Chain A
Amino acid sequence: MNNFFNKALLWLFLQPKGLYKKLNVNTSHLRAILIIKLVIDDRTATGINRVRAQTRSEDPSTATMFTMLISLVMGVVLLGVFMLSDDVTRMTFYFASLGFMLAMFMITDFSHILLDTKDNYIILPKPVSASTFLIGRLLHIVIHLLKILIPMALPGFIALWISRGFLGALVFVPVLVLLTVLTFAIVNVLYLLILKLFSVRKINAIIASVQIGFAIILYGSFQILPRMLDMTEIENIHLGDYALMWLFPAYWLACAWKFIYSLNLEPTLIYGTVLSVVVPLLSAWLMIKYLAPSFTEKLSMMSGGGIEQEVNKTVVNSKRSSSGGMLRIFSKLMTSGEVERQSFLFVGRMVSRNRDFKLKVYPMVGYMIVLFALLVVNKWGEVDLYNLDIESSNLKTSFLFTIYLSSMICVSALLQLPYCEQFKAVWIFYSAPLERPGDIFSGALKACIYRFLLPFTLLISGVSLVIFGIEILPNLVLGFGSVFLIIVLYAWILFVRLPFSIPLKKASEEKTTYQNFFIIIVLPIFAIPQYFLFEYSLAVWIISGVILSGALFGLKYMRRIRWSYLKEG
């Protein structure tokens, strides 16, 4: 715990010794608990960090610093709203976006604190009083929150100081506290809702989806927010004109800030201030009184009994689920031979259920959608809609971009495929009497194509055919044929390791290199010639034929891969 921030906060929170004594809190226990918790935080990769920690081999002992840095960057991005004209509107947008970011951070970063049942085994058997335990947990959460909140709100604080003087910035602080309490209460309710609606076992999967969504929103906001700055009309919005605004807590908080800062006795501002004080306090009270106990009860269910029933439920669900049925149907269509088919099913299931895999690959899907949307907005907008002409060079570029970039999802899946937390389970491939691992590889590749290429091929082809008509067909075939070939070639390079056979920690820089190489070199090799050949349908058909047979040959020949082809370790 050599982080200055941790030390300072720890020191600060251990000061009110008299208060702790009154609460029956043992300060030396409290100190020990907080120190160990902060060390663990520093070394645990969670939320945002999780994605990063796996791309680097170094240990995530700087996790805290990284999270703080991300928060700071987010805080700077949020400053965009300061261009808005009137105070209340500006602060409403600011508090809304800050609250949203904060909630996302809480959901993704807090799961390991809120859902931690290890404490129950490690700390509770020790002679630690219940109040020490509770205060320790609470302070841990508060410290954790401050580490996100302070850097995120700092740019706003400074901006207010500059534009409104020190008083404006000072008033900002208590409002921020109210915002935090409110956000925390909302996140808690969300967690409870998840716990109520879904089985305890599914929580991690749901949190993973939230994390993926968060990553996409972050990426999207980095891409889209700066572009929004050009919009001139938005400056003239005055939220005070809309009665609907009363539904948004951020609006009350903005009113509260304005009220305290200006001491303007306008009724709107006073109502807003009252609401923004009463609601957070009320929700905090509700949280302590009703939500926290039922939360703890749920958690004890998680670590205690009831688990076996949950397991049975999961089994039944997966048998019934329709996507599982699709996977089985396609396994019959796309593979031949039992080993290849089972490998297809195995990889198809693993990639849709393994949490770490999803965290690495699924955000890519979101990035692609954002990128696609941007291309549509930026490029297609320039073309006269009544005179759609595929030869128009901008449109051509967008079209090719979309097709070729769609391959990145499948490539990143292939790159991630060897890595898994339970890498030791790979013994199954070695102990089984398999003559060659080729069937495993071709099944795995086909599963990846089914999951990560086929859907986009169908989607993009469908949209293109609707927009451009049948004459786009040869270029669609060539584009996706090339993508198919590229993926097969990549598989040949990458399949020197069995699927899910390497510890996650080892996912190294090698991956990034491959990925960059892919975007800079491999894609253009195929995409640029197609750009110039675009109009020559006959040539496009002939090359498509060559490329497709190459890809099919590569896929077929993959089954011949021998054990000796594998890389050691």
Chain B
Amino acid sequence: MDPIITIKNLYKSYGSKQVLKGIDLDVYPGQVIGYIGPNGAGKTTTVKILCGLIADYTGEVVIKGMDLKKETLRIKQLIGYVPEVNELYDVLTPSEFLTFTGALYNLSPDVTTERIERIFDALGMSGHLNQRMDSFSKGMKQKVLITSGLLHNPEIIILDEPLSGLDANSVIIIKDLISRLAKDGKTIFYCSHMMDIVEKVSDKIVLIDDGVIVANGTLAQLKDQLGDNSLEHMFASLTTGQGGSSAAISIMDALHTNSDSGNE
């Protein structure tokens, strides 16, 4: 099977600051990729390139046989992007915002309306369809964003921290949704630093640090490779260079400094 996403030798810098330093990655249809790394590692930049938000990268990105730089619009139609929570116009109502999204994805208004209503029903949000989003909680906004990402039934779904700020119930719904979408043959690019969930939903884990991929494989492969039990430990050893526990020890030391002056 041919990969649905091929990234070759991807470089990107902001001014003098190089963010991506040669990313190579193949993603196959129906895979759930957990793309993880610490803050500032280059996760979001990769996602922005894949979504066509950043065009001035060097290297090659091919999606479904099309070059991202040449056939941007056709590729965008294939992708559903769920950004982090704050990226929406919150003075609008979900109905207004999603109808707008549908129009941009070339859906007919009738189809859009029906899909919005059914998805909102399933998410338990029907009552909020015509309320302005500025009063919404993080979880509610996230549900609107997820709806906007799925509305046009995309083949590739890119999720950037989709579970941040969600309540336990919504987390279960989204996790379940991710595995069902994958079973349906959709490719999911899951970007996060919440390791425990990545561990559970992903077929393949890609760990990025300081603009390069430091590990790439299934959970089992990574475990073999590193001989460690949980991904969180791997994560710590790969990215901080010293492991999480020494940071914890330093913090404990700080708390034990002279308690008399602690109130100042």
Contact = CB atoms under 8 A, between A and B. Distances in A.
A316 B89 CA distance: 33
B120 to A, nearest CB: 19
A118 B92 contact: no
B103 A118 contact: no
Interface in A5-56: 28-29, 31-33, 35-36, 39-40, 43-44
A121 B263 contact: no
A125 B92 contact: no
A309 B14 CA distance: 12
A40 B132 CA distance: 11
B87 A29 contact: no
Nearest to B77: A127
B201 to A, nearest CB: 22
B173 to A, nearest CB: 23
A121 B53 contact: yes
A308 B19 CA distance: 13
Interface string B100-143: 11011110000000000000000000000000100000000000
Contacts of B77: 127
Interface stretch (A65-73, A269-277, A298-306, A527-535): A298-306
A237 B96 CA distance: 56
Contact of B103 (A29, A40, A122, A309): A29
What size tier do the contact residues of chain A reach? 20 to 34
B100 A129 contact: no
B54 A300 contact: yes
Interface string A85-104: 00000000000000000000
Contacts of B96: 36, 39
Contacts of A352: none
A128 B104 contact: yes
A128 B106 CA distance: 9
Given A36-B89, A39-B96, A121-B87, A127 B73 contact: yes
Contacts of A304: 14, 45, 48, 54
B29 to A, nearest CB: 20
Nearest to B106: A127
Nearest to A60: B91
Contacts of B263: 338
B88 interface: yes
A305 B81 contact: no
Given A127-B74, A306-B14, A306-B17, A122 B88 contact: yes
Contacts of B74: 127
B81 A125 contact: yes
Given A122-B89, A129-B73, A29 B104 contact: yes
B103 A32 contact: yes
A127 B105 contact: yes
A404 B132 CA distance: 44
Contacts of A121: 53, 83, 87
B91 A124 contact: no
Interface of B: 14-15, 17, 19, 40, 45, 48, 51-54, 73-74, 76-77, 79, 81, 83, 87-89, 91-92, 96-97, 100-101, 103-106, 132, 263-264
17 contacts: A28-B103, A29-B103, A32-B103, A36-B89, A39-B92, A40-B89, A121-B53, A121-B87, A125-B52, A127-B74, A127-B77, A127-B104, A301-B14, A304-B14, A304-B54, A305-B17, A306-B14
